[in-house]
Amino acid sequence: MSLNLDEVIPLGRCLGEYKRMFSLEQSDLELAILDCAGGTASFNAEMTRLGNKVISCDQVYRLTAGQIRAHLAAQANLCSYRWDYYFQSPQHIAQVRRNATEEFLEDFPSGLEQDRYVTAELPVLPSFEKDQFDLALCSHFLFTDPNLSEEFHLEAITEMCRVAKEVRVFPLLGGYSGVESEHLNPIVTELKKRSFHVETPEVHYEFQKGGNKMLRVSKKNSA
């Protein structure tokens, strides 16, 4: 999946959202983390400022900060979202996402020099070694993108399991429909057949209606 410069790039998410989306405890934040398909999230910048270790990977990192800024997306249609949980209004989310993206853009040049931002894309991550990370996170890419096949999802998740001891994916909705992805149950079944430990726990985050679960996958000997 190559990056088309005519495509828009979504505004980023912040550390506070990551904590809720992935049920991240303080002990989790101290792990070696891969933010897969990290985009313009400020997660890496904020975690680095706190002294934690994160590497983010995305195909968008082949661009310069200026090119990324030029291709940022306008806010999407927000009619199917909840305003009583994390965000209070469309204005609130717009401000949070703008702030996160600005923090990312400020951090991006130095992060590239420090190898904290790596150009790589699922379903293969040749830049990373087996078990290089304790935890891999994937937000709003798998299950969200309606163009990705079940085979792509399986390959991507097992590849993240190769480079990390545990994988967490959020959300589990198909696109922005508010309906659980049709790929989820077959993927859970297949992962269990391949001897992975698989859970779909609820999380303390529900901005998109119905989107309050994550997929949690680990090798059984590391669960």
Region 129-136: mean pLDDT is 98
Q: How far apart are CA 85 and CA 82, in angstroms?
A: 7
Is the confidence at residue 63, as pLDDT, over 80? Answer: yes
Q: How many Cα neighbours within 13 Å face the side chain of 163? A: 23
Sign for the pseudo-dihedral over CA of 82, 85, 90, 96: negative
Quick check: 117 and 108 in contact, CB under 8 A? yes
Of 219, 209, 210, 207, the closest CA to residue 21 belongs to 207
pLDDT tier at 46 (50, 70, 90 boundaries)? very high
Show me where the domains of the chain are located. Answer: 15-222
The whole-number pLDDT of residue 212 equals 93
Distance of CA 111 to the CA centre of its chain: 18
Q: What is the mean pLDDT of the chain?
A: 89
Backbone region of residue 105 per phi and psi (left: phi > 0; alpha: psi in -120 to 50; beta: other values): alpha
pLDDT tier at 175 (50, 70, 90 boundaries)? confident
68 residue type, one letter = I
User: What pTM, to 2 d.p., does this model score?
Assistant: 0.89
Region 142-150: mean pLDDT is 93
Is 177 or 156 the better-scoring residue by pLDDT?
Answer: 156
Is the confidence at residue 186, as pLDDT, over 50? Answer: yes
Residue entry with tokens 């399991």: 161
pLDDT tier at 223 (50, 70, 90 boundaries)? very low
The whole-number pLDDT of residue 17 equals 93
Backbone phi, then psi, for 170, in 5-degree steps? Answer: -145, 140
State pLDDT tens for residues 72-91.
875 544 545 555 556 556 67
Is the confidence at residue 160, as pLDDT, over 90? Answer: yes
Q: Could you tell me the end-to-end alpha-carbon distance of the chain, in angstroms, rounded to an integer? A: 31
Is 208 or 119 the better-scoring residue by pLDDT?
Answer: 119
User: With respect to CATH, is domain 15-222 assigned 3.40.50.150?
Assistant: yes
Is 196 or 8 the better-scoring residue by pLDDT?
Answer: 196
